Structures are given as C-alpha cells and as structure tokens.
Structure 1
Amino acid sequence: MAGVLEVILAFRKYLIIITVIVLPLALPLAVPTKEARCGYVIIVMAVFWCTEAVPLAVTALLPVLLFPLMNIMDANTVCREYLKNTNMLFVGGLLVAIAIENWHLHRRMALRVLLVTGVRPALLLMGFMVVTAFLSMWISNTATTAMMVPIAQAVLEQLRKSELESTGAGEVQEGSTPEGKGNAHVVAIEDDKKGNEDLEEKHLKLCKGMSLCICYAASIGGIATLTGTGPNLVLQGQVEELYPNNGGVITFVSWFSFAFPTMIVLLVLAWLWLQILFLGFNFKENFGCTASAAEKNKEKEAYAVIQEESRKLGRMKFAEIAVLSLFILLVVLWFTRDPGFTTGWATNLFNKKKKYVTDGTVAMFVAILLFLIPSGFSNAQTDGKSKFQAPPPLLDWKTVHHKMPWSIVFLLGGGFALAKGSEKSGLSAWLGTKLTPLQNVPQSAIAFLVCLLVATFTECTSNVATTTLFLPIVASMAEAICLNPLYVMLPCTLSASLAFMLPVATPPNAIVFSYGQLRVIDMAKAGFVLNILGVLTITLSINTWTSSFLQLQIFPTWANKTGSCP
C-alpha cells in the first residue's frame, strides 16, 4: 500500500494533468455549443493555474492551441492577444526597473531613508516598510524583498550583539561568593538566565515583525502604480479588451489617483498591526521615548551598521545619476501624458483627436534610451598597454535576458486571450444572464464579497492567474445588473495582492520564510488579520474617494453593449 502511495505522489502532476483534461470533456460533449467549449478551456486553465501541474506560462499558451481547434477563434486573432499595448507597458517598466537594480540605485535609496528614520523599534519597522513599499511601486516585489531582507538581517544582528554585550550574561557581582550566599548566587544565575531568555524572545519577535513588514510592504506597495504588479496590468488589458470604447479610463494617472491613497491607508494599518503583534502595546517604549543609556548605545551601534553599508556604496556614479534621471523622466512623462484635469503633452504635440501615444509608448521611449546612453565617459584598461574602450550602455541585453521574467508576458497574454475567447464564444453574455439575481444585493455588499473571495483565492494561486480568471466573470456580472464594471473589477484586482497568510502565496513571503525565523502559524496569524484589514480598506476606498474620482456610481455608456441598461 505504501508503495502505491509513493508512486501516486511521484506521478501526481501527471495524474492531475490527465484527470483535468479528460473529466471536463463531458461538458462540451454533453452541451455541444461554443459557450461550453470555451468553458472547458477555462476550467482546464483554472485548475492548472491553481495546482501548477503545468508551468503557469505554458498554461497561458493553451488558448493558442485549443481556441482554433474548438472553433472559438482563429489562430491569428488569438495570437494577436499575446502582445498588446499593456504587455509593452509591462516590458518597458521592467526594463527601467532592471536598470535601477543593476546599478544598485534601489539599495542607495533604501539606506538613505533608513538613515533618516533611525533604528528605534517602531521607526525601524516604519522605515523598512516605507522603503520597501516605495521600491515595490517601481520594481518587482521579489527583487525588492530580496534586497531589503539582508539589510534588515544585518541591522537586527547588530542589535542582538549589542544586547548580549550590555547584559553581561552569567557574570557574578564582585564580592559575591558561594560561601554563605549560595542561595543568592543561584538566584542571581537564574535571574541572568531568565533575563537572557527574555531578551532572546524579544529579539525573535522583532525579527519576525521585521521579516513580515518587508514582505507585506512589498505586496502592498505594488498596488499603488499601474506597473507595480501584474494584476494591475491585467485589469487595464481586460478593460481595453472587453470595452474598446472606454476612452482610456485606466491610465497611469487615474490608477495612481485612487490606488496610492489606498496603499497608504493599508500600509499604515499593517504597520500598526505588526507593531501591536510583535512589539506590544507600549508605544512609548517602541518609539524609544523611555530608552535607557544602554539601549541608546545599542541603537547607535545598529545605526552605525546602516551608515557603514551606505558608506560602502561611495559617491553616486554617472551611471546611477543617469538611471535616476531617466526614472524621474519616466514618472513625469506618465503623469503629464494625460492627467485628466487638463490636456496632456501627448495630445498637444502629436494628435488632438486620437490618443496615439500611450503609457506603453512612454515606457518604451525611456527603456530604449537605457540602451543608447553610455554608463560613463571612459573605460580605460591598464594591462601593460595603453588601451581605451568605449563604456558599455546603461543596460545591455545580456542583463535583461537574465533578469526579465518573460513568463509574466505570456501569462498576461493568456489572460487577454481568455477574455477575448469568453466574449467571442458568448460565454460572458450567458454568464451575465445567470447572475442577474444579484441586482437585488446592495452594491457595497457585492464589492465586499468579491474582495473576500479573491483575497482567499489568491492565497493558493498566482495573483496574475487569479485576476485573469475572475475579471471577465465580475465584468459580466456587472453588465447584467447595470453596475459600473470598474466598481467590481477594481476591488477584484486590488484584492489579488492581499496574499499575506502563507509562505507559498507570493515570492516575497517565501523569501522571508526561507530565513528560518518565522513559522507558518506566525505568518498565518499576522496575515489573517491583515487580509481582513485589506478587504475593509479596499471596500472603503471603492465606496469613497475611488467612486467619486472615477464616477463608479454611474453606469457608463461604453459598458452598455446591449443597450438594455438606462
């Protein structure tokens, strides 16, 4: 029996693949319609994405095979979905992020902020969360976490070392001898031992809080910008795909206007919750207001570690200044292209009627400059002969090939193909008619339930895959009950980033968990409350400033495909 179980476990992925391909075939065989065939493809892809029996990117390629074979869409139409403007925006943004990471500019920014915040427990947590969230807005949350955790570990190690040196563990005061004072001597040793245990426990809690604050801030920071994380781009692509006449409702500026305040609120709540959970309710002590001379000395030594790390970087090189300048240029061009409250430069300079220039165009412009601008003025070689070489550009293709997560490009494309197939087959319309009873449910309750469902689902599935699966469904539901599709699509997208409970939920969680200070129960306990806080924050955002800014209370004409809604 044990041998059979071992074989099943060894071949479980192949068994899942065969089962998932064969069993759902009953649906298109029993109901020979386009809707049923498209439903079969979605079921297969959903299970593959959840179980990862097949790599995520390979699963995303299934529409290229199955849609033409099942007469849902022709191959040319399917393939065009895999490289749209949204994909180019993602690639352009990542190229800039890779350049920042390649020249260690993100590390310099992180250390500069930490030098400002200091190393008092509460401020230390806040400093790491602010830096991590800011960096995660522009570069991948995985790279941000991988860079921030070693810095945090170095600071924590110095704090622990200073604590041990200041306690004088196991030392006996002068003049105290076992003769006549045996009991007192034993009590002193036991007190020292208990004091050391308390210090170790306190330090371990700080380590846990620090680790979690980094991975959580990396996930939270990504929701603030359109290019910050994959689900945001999935939403933009799905809106463009499902509602081609939307008039560019989702741009970098419009997204930032509602998502950045949401991120700030959630980040503050996460900071307060982690502080309460791991540092306790003594806020005066957490902020160092009652610190003793020994504790202040310990903080100075830990602060010196950050100063030393910053000193090692030296002065900013030309390449760092150039990359920073291009990064600032990119952000400025994104914000001013189509700000909404006035005419942007793209409309004034290029075309007053059609929006030819998009955020993807801007990202590619800056990304291409990285390959054209040299990283310095000279690259002299001194090997016995006078030799002069031209310096390399700020970014080379070898570095890009090594660091670019190409699988996400296919994953985004697969999502767009899936949405297009659902629309072409009529599955979206059919699903919408089945969801009409939801019009009797309060809109705020619908948004809350969508947030809760997606936040739960994303704990065990890729956030991009989660968004890809749910967005067409909630969009169809919104159309059926004459609700602004963005009212449910936005919370669905934001909630996909609330993967806080499990180490496998997202790469940042796995990175901090690999350092061995956390247990699964620690992450689950902290993440459960943070998930609830995240769902409540997103629901609040959708029903207040986001609703006002994007006019979510009005059913837009671009979503009224059938003309059945007023």
Structure 2
Amino acid sequence: MMAPCVKHLLSCKDFLILVLTPLLLLPLPLLIETKEASCAYIIILMAVYWCTEVIPLAVTALLPVLLFPMFGILESKKVCMQYLKDTNMLFVGGLIVAVAVEHWNLHKRIALRVLLIVGVRPPLLMMGFMGVTAFLSMWISNTATTAMMVPIVQAVLSQLNNTEQDPSILENTEGQTNPGLELEEKNSMAMTSVQVITNGYVQEVPRTVTEKEETKRINKGMMLSICYAASIGGTATLTGTGPNLVLKGQFSQLFPNNGDILNFASWFGFAFPNMLVMLFIAWMWLQISFLGFNLKKTWGCGATRSEKEQAAYNIIREEHRKLGPISYAESSVLFLFTLLVILWFTRDPGFVKGWATVMFNMDNVEYVTDATVAVFVAVLLFILPASKPKFSYSSSSNSFDFDDLEQEQTITFCSPPLLTWKVVHKKMPWSIVLLLGGGFALAKGSDASGLSYWLGQQMTPLHSIPAWSIAVILSLMIAVFTECASNVATATLFLPILASMAQSIHVNPLYIMIPCTLSTSFAFMLPVATPPNAIVFSYGHLRVSDMVKTGIVMNFIGVICTTIAINSWGRPMFNLNTFPAWANNTGGN
C-alpha cells in the first residue's frame, strides 16, 4: 500500500517542490517584515529551484524581475538593467567567436594536428588529449569541446583495442550535441578476442583476462582525461567558463572603484599557470590510477610502434587528411581569434599603459573594456567574407561595357560572411546570458536591501580565524556543492555572500572570491555534475564508482593547487596582503 503512494509522490516531486517551496518559506518575509528578510526569501527560493531544476535555470534567473519589485526591494527598471551588463556583452562576443571556430572546424584541425605530433603511446596520447581539450575549452564551451573530442578518443581507443570501428562515430563533432549520448552497451570493450591481420589473413586471437583488464583501465583513463581537462581548461581564461564571468560581473558591481584590477590579462596571468599545474598533476594521477606509472614505457624514445598503435595513428592521420588544406575561411577565423586575444591582453595589461588607455580611456573613465573588444571582433565575423574576394564577370564580347552590365554580365565580389545569424542563433547558449543576468540582479538586490551588510556583520567573529583556512574550507564546501548544482548557479549564490564576509573580516575580497570561483569548476565526481562528465559517462566505459573514486582526489588536487596559487603569485598580482580602500565601498543603490 505504501509503495504506490511513494511512487506517486515521486512522480509529482517537481510539482510539489515548485509549489510547496514558496509556501514553506513564506513565514520568513511575513514574520520578519524587513527588506533583508524579503531578499533572503527570494534568494533561498531561487537556490532551491536552481538545485532541483524543477523549472529551467534561465527561467529561475528571471524571478528577480518579478519578485524584487513586488517585495519593494528594487525598482523594475533597475532590476532589468542587470540582465545586459558589460560582462554579459563580453560573454556574448566571446561566444560568437567560439561559434565561428566550431562552425569552420578549426578546433578539430588543431586537435588532430597536436595528436599527430604527440604520438599514440597511451600515456603520451593521454597527455595530448588533455592538452588539446584544455586549450580548446579555454576559448569554446566545455561541453562543445568534450562533444568534439570524445568521438576522436573513441575511434583511437577502438584501434588500440583492435575492435571494429564505426566510421560514423566521428561525423557529428560540431555544436553542443553528440550521438554518443545515445550509444548502447555495445561500445564497451568487453571483447573475448581480437582481430589481427597476419600475411593478409584475419585471425581471431583470444585475449587474456589481464589484457582485458588493462584495456578497460586504459578506456576509463582516457575518457576521464577528457572531461577533467575540459573542466580544468575552462578556468584559465575569463571567458572560458560561466563562473569566471559571474565573478567579473559581481566584483565590478559590488566594488565599482576597484580600478579594473580583474580583467582578461590579469585573470590569465593568475589562472593559466594554475591550470597548467592542475593539468599536469591530473595527468599524473590518471596515469597512476589507470595506466601504471612507468617512465620507460611512457617516454621510451626510439621504440617502434606496435600494430595497434600504428592503426590508431592512421585513424588520426586519416581524419586530419579528410579536413584537407586549411581554407580561406579557417585562416580568417584564426586571424580574428588571434586578434581578439592580442587586443584583450594589450588593452590594459597593468604594468604599462595599454592601447585602450592611450587612445580612448581618458579622465579616469574606462570607455573601452574587454566587452568592447569582444563585440568588435564578433561584428567583423558578420562582415568579412568566407571566401577570397574576387571580381569576375561573364560577357558575350571581350570588351567591358558598363552600359550592358546588367544585361550581359554577373558581378561577384564578396561571398557570404564567415558567420550568419542563423548559425549563431542555433549554437549560442542564450540561457547562460539570462543566468548571468539573474546573478547580477541577485547581487544588486542583496546590496540594495541591506542583506549583504547584515550577512557581513554576522560573520565578523571569523576575524580570529586565518584567512587562508577560511578560503580552503569554503573552497572544499563549494567543490562539493557544485557536484549537485550548476556551476554558474553556485557562483551566483555564493559570491555576494563571500564578498560581504571578506569585508566584515577586513580581507581583500579577491582572496576569498577567486579560489571559491575556481572551485565551482571542480565538478569531477558525478556524471550529473557537469555536461562533460555526462558525455563521457554515456559511452559505457565508466561506472559511477570510477568517477567518484578518481574525482574525489581531483577535488582535493584542485583546492590545494588553487590555495598555493592564491598564496604565492596571486598575492603580488592582486595586492592581497592589504585590505584595499575600494573594498570599503559597495555598489550602492
């Protein structure tokens, strides 16, 4: 009797959470009739909706537009202005460039070229996969990077294991979706024999238990290396993953007089070395866990490739050959991408005056920001042609008569542009833009209602605890929390609170906010924690226990590396030894 009731309740779980949560929380604003309590009600409600995903994340992010005016916290005009701030435009511009890279398959060309260089010896192949994945995820979305890389890994593994290769597996490597999400158990490598070609004849060779176990371990290690590298690589750039942009936006909003201390160049200078260290340690950990750490086997120079390794190398070489010579469009996208990165780095590097400061930013007013650069390059993608411009005409006579131009000649100068809006509209994750906007609205509401100040006052006793230990504990807590919630939503909820806490204990807010922001990307333990994990899990090589056992160590690796980074080169970069004057002032109303 109880079982059907429980089953029925579970089937109605989403509806019950959607309806009961606001009702159960309603006594908070009714009994404590203050703006702080009303703002807390809205934040807790949104936190529950974000964690349970009973409605889409982007829809939850729109709730401040409805609830802040109703509770008298903030006027509707001021709330709506938070949804398209400078940071959102930086995100949009950066994503449009990333869409162009994906659209013209430039990311696949880069990946295959690097893999041809590193070779196919399993440890070095894993290093190549991780390096390429991390580099690509610095610029394009972690999900798209993983969706492109995993079929390549699958094809190479099938040759290393001498299984039959499905030639269609590499066809869909564009965009955010991947046929691997629908693969069945048949793609797991539980084979009892392998096919070996000897003197032109195919022979079935039985596989020992040891060989099968080694094959399974290699498959698991290679798959995990992709999703881990995607998450780690996204931390290196300001536009690499959503939480970094949440930090940039909320930090600029809460501390408007910070002097643009947190920009693309400064973030890269701090986070890129940390990413390299994490990536190397992750590679070492995966080797120890799945491949066995053998220096001679890993770095053995001059050793000839086995038949299986040669077959895997041929797969990579063939896929690279299919791409053909680099096209005019790919060259143009590569040029614009390089231009974007150079302009970002040189806009305001900090140690010298950047081009924006010299040419545009006058009277201590920052007219040109990273968003300006991103939108400039994004606009060029809709203007520059996809093929080399040419002037051609066809005529019945050899003479060029402009009077008969319309009747006898066809003039073609510019081809369609590198990007069209149809392509961008299809591939752009617009929901993230709303999610970022919702986070900025929450930060603004917390400040306007006084909730941020109240929370800061409650945390004053923490002043007696060393700041580094607070940062470590909070980073570990957030790394666990992000396993069950969106990393963008996690950063959105925690960063305003962390900023208030840092102010209350007179610690530079960046000392707490930066490591906690990075920790939101350390979702290594569960398949549902992040889309890259879900993609690699769907291929059938991994069990949940594999991800948990390996991922829990990865979480500690991430927190330890970040703690060392923020306490070493992070201190002079962001002046973390002092409590800055700008931290005494908040964004205000």
TM over 0.5: yes
Residue 202 in structure 1 maps to residue 214 in structure 2? yes
Matches within 5 A, 1:52-63: 52-63=53-64
Residue 355 in structure 1 maps to residue 356 in structure 2? no
Residue 290 of structure 1 and its aligned partner are, at CA, apart by 9.7
Residue 284 of structure 1 and its aligned partner are, at CA, apart by 2.1
Residue 200 of structure 1 and its aligned partner are, at CA, apart by 2.1
- Aligned to 2:268, which of 231, 246, 256? 256
- Looking at structure 2, the residues matched to 438 and 222 of structure 1 have their Cα atoms a distance apart, in angstroms, of 32
The one-letter amino acid paired with 2:287 is Q
Residue 242 of structure 1 and its aligned partner are, at CA, apart by 0.4
The one-letter amino acid paired with 2:224 is L
Partner of 1:553: 577
- Looking at structure 1, the residues matched to 72 and 321 of structure 2 have their Cα atoms a distance apart, in angstroms, of 63
Partner of 1:176: none
SS of match in other structure, 2:306: helix
- Looking at structure 2, the residues matched to 323 and 95 of structure 1 have their Cα atoms a distance apart, in angstroms, of 11
The one-letter amino acid paired with 1:400 is V
Partner of 2:229: 217
- Looking at structure 1, the residues matched to 361 and 499 of structure 2 have their Cα atoms a distance apart, in angstroms, of 31
Partner of 1:70: 71
The one-letter amino acid paired with 2:259 is G
SS of match in other structure, 1:284: helix
Partner of 2:36: 35
The one-letter amino acid paired with 1:341 is F
- Looking at structure 2, the residues matched to 111 and 397 of structure 1 have their Cα atoms a distance apart, in angstroms, of 28
Residue 477 in structure 1 maps to residue 501 in structure 2? yes
Does structure 2 conserve the Cα–Cα contact (< 8 Å) formed by 1:346 and 1:357?
Answer: yes
- Looking at structure 2, the residues matched to 491 and 333 of structure 1 have their Cα atoms a distance apart, in angstroms, of 27
- Aligned to 1:269, which of 276, 281, 290? 281
Distance 1:378-1:331 versus aligned 2 partners, 3 A rule: closer
Partner of 1:346: 356
In structure 1, the gaps of 5 or more residues are: 174-188
* CA displacement, residues 179-231 of structure 1 (integer Å, 9 cap, x when unaligned): xxxxxxxxxx9xx85x5332222111111111100010000000000000000
Partner of 1:315: 325
Partner of 1:130: 131
RMSD: 2.2
Identity between Structure 1 and Structure 2 (%) = 61
Matches within 5 A, 1:142-181: 142-161=143-162, 164-165=194-195
Partner of 1:375: 386
Structure having the higher helix fraction is 1
Does structure 2 conserve the Cα–Cα contact (< 8 Å) formed by 1:121 and 1:287?
Answer: no
The one-letter amino acid paired with 1:55 is P
- Looking at structure 2, the residues matched to 438 and 505 of structure 1 have their Cα atoms a distance apart, in angstroms, of 31
Partner of 2:97: 96
In structure 2, the gaps of 5 or more residues are: 164-192, 393-407
Residue 165 of structure 1 and its aligned partner are, at CA, apart by 4.1
- Looking at structure 1, the residues matched to 196 and 524 of structure 2 have their Cα atoms a distance apart, in angstroms, of 36
Does structure 2 conserve the Cα–Cα contact (< 8 Å) formed by 1:378 and 1:388?
Answer: no
Partner of 2:112: 111
- Looking at structure 2, the residues matched to 232 and 394 of structure 1 have their Cα atoms a distance apart, in angstroms, of 28
- Aligned to 1:496, which of 520, 538, 541? 520
Residue 288 of structure 1 and its aligned partner are, at CA, apart by 4.5
- Looking at structure 1, the residues matched to 410 and 327 of structure 2 have their Cα atoms a distance apart, in angstroms, of 22
SS of match in other structure, 2:260: coil
Residue 167 of structure 1 and its aligned partner are, at CA, apart by 10
* CA displacement, residues 225-254 of structure 1 (integer Å, 9 cap, x when unaligned): 000000000000001110111111110001
Residue 255 of structure 1 and its aligned partner are, at CA, apart by 0.3
- Looking at structure 2, the residues matched to 341 and 296 of structure 1 have their Cα atoms a distance apart, in angstroms, of 52
SS of match in other structure, 2:229: helix
TM-score (norm. length: structure 2): 0.88
TM-score (norm. length: structure 1): 0.91
- Looking at structure 2, the residues matched to 81 and 165 of structure 1 have their Cα atoms a distance apart, in angstroms, of 60
- Looking at structure 2, the residues matched to 559 and 419 of structure 1 have their Cα atoms a distance apart, in angstroms, of 15
Residue 526 in structure 1 maps to residue 537 in structure 2? no
Answer with 134-143 or 548-557: which moved more: 548-557
Partner of 2:315: 305
Residue 301 of structure 1 and its aligned partner are, at CA, apart by 2.0
Distance 1:391-1:497 versus aligned 2 partners, 3 A rule: same
Residue 388 of structure 1 and its aligned partner are, at CA, apart by 7.4
The one-letter amino acid paired with 2:31 is A
SS of match in other structure, 1:164: strand
The one-letter amino acid paired with 1:453 is M
Partner of 1:432: 456
Count of aligned pairs between the two proteins = 537
Residue 549 of structure 1 and its aligned partner are, at CA, apart by 1.3
The one-letter amino acid paired with 2:218 is L
Does structure 2 conserve the Cα–Cα contact (< 8 Å) formed by 1:120 and 1:288?
Answer: no
